[in-house]
Amino acid sequence: MAYEEDDGLSKGEKVLTKQSAAMVLPTYIFLISWGLLSFVPVLWMFLTAFLPKEALQKMPPDLNLTLLTYENFKQLLAFPGKEFSFSKLSWYGSETGVIIWWFLNSFFLASVNTCFNLFFDSLAGYAFAKRDFPGRTFLFWTLICTMMVPGQVVLVPLFLMMINLGLYDSFLAIILPSIAGVFGIFLMKQYIQSMPSGLEEAARIDGCSEFGIFIKIILPLCKPVLAVLGIFVFVGNWNNFLWPMIVLKSQNHYTLQVGLSILQQLQEHEVHYGIQMAGAVVAAAPILAVFLFLQKYFIKGLTIGGVKG
């Protein structure tokens, strides 16, 4: 299966089911209103993040746009101290500005994992797609079957393992288990399979080593699908929550998602939604930006992975 076909979706349908103008308007209204509906939570998040706490506690909420403030972000930045200042910014003392470190931790972990995933997944995907070695089918289907194991089954043993390996509260505990992914291998295999074998045969005849073929011929040709996979892995890791929450101990090592969950109840007897939503904006904004710029790739990735060729 090659993904190029997916671009010009449904041309056939379109010719056949041309709708009358009278039908088009209601269709658009319906579709747009549903889109808005699923967008309400996101809008509400932005609104709450930029409104003062007091405006939201009124009934009905005071949605006066002149009230917009970045007070919540200021408080978020100051957490856990009183006031934010760059001189007090520290990783280990966590005097103020921990959120910056959470952000960097998240970014670091997501990018490291993405790099590893891209490399190892394409390596394995290439072998599964182009090399006919004994045991290929068996190993490939074993890998696919592991997709069925619920993450919760391995949660406890993995946790015990990490403790015994001395990796509790270390970034390695998050990086190591996910340096390769089944989804990625599957995606790469599907894509590489659809490429013609001529080039690599030629290179092989010219005496190029197997690794050389992979690096010099396969990888450059895979750039589009690597972009897709990279985005997916990055977003997945950025949004990862349960495992980091369990395996990270000190506040300075938290990722943004884990940190946000502790923001849920900063003070014992008070839930401050404003700060929470400000945190949510900080966590969601980069991903939203990535999506808006690279939406084409997102959609390609979904269709390559979702429909088996």
User: Which of the residues 128 through 187 are near other proteins (CB under 8 A)?
Assistant: 128, 131, 133-136, 139, 143, 146, 148-161, 163-164, 168-172, 175-177, 179-180, 182, 185
Write out the binding residues for other proteins, residues 181-210 only, by CB under 8 A.
182, 185, 210
Alpha-carbon distances, residue 12 vs 9, 17, 28, 307 (angstroms): 8, 9, 21, 19
Kindly state whether residue 309 participates in binding other proteins, applying the rule CB under 8 A: no
Cβ pair 246, 169 in contact under 8 A: no
Give the C-alpha separation, 108 to 70, whole Å. Answer: 26
CB 178 within 8 A of CB 243: no
Dihedral (CA of 42, 46, 52, 55) sign: negative
Name residues whose C-beta falls within 8 Å of residue 18's C-beta, 6 or more positions apart in sequence: none
Shortest Å distance, C-beta 27 to other proteins? 6
Q: Which residue reads 């400000």 in tokens?
A: 278
Which residue's CB is nearer to other proteins, number 22 or number 59? 59
DSSP 3-state assignment of 226? Answer: helix
The site map against other proteins for 222-241 (x = CB under 8 A) is -------------x--xx-x
- The answer to the question of residue 2 lying near other proteins (CB under 8 A) is no
> Of 19 and 87, which has the nearer Cβ to other proteins?
19
Q: Which helix (H) or strand (E) holds 139?
A: helix 136-146
Q: Shortest approach of other proteins to residue 196 CB, angstroms?
A: 19
Min separation Cβ 202 and other proteins, Å? 15
| Residue of the chain from 64, 92, 196, 198 that contacts other proteins (CB under 8 A) | 92
Of 86 and 267, nearer to other proteins (C-beta) is 267
Nearest approach, Cβ of 25 to other proteins (angstroms)? Answer: 12
By the rule CB under 8 A, 251 interacts with other proteins: yes
- The tokens for 29 are 């209204």
Distance from the Cα of residue 176 to its chain's centroid: 17
Compare residues 38 and 86 and give the one whose CB is closer to other proteins: 38
Rounded to whole angstroms, the Cα distance separating 114 from 104 reads 15
How many amino acids of this chain bind other proteins (CB under 8 A)?
Answer: 140
Which of 183, 216, 221, 227: binder of other proteins (CB under 8 A)?
A: 216
Q: Which is nearer to other proteins, 89 or 115 (CB)?
A: 115
Q: Which two tokens stand for residue 152?
A: 């919760």
30 binds other proteins (CB under 8 A): yes
302 interacts with other proteins by CB under 8 A: yes
Structure-token pair, residue 245: 């929450």
Per CB under 8 A, 76 contacts other proteins: no
Report the interhelical angle of 223-238 vs 273-306 (nearest 10°): 150
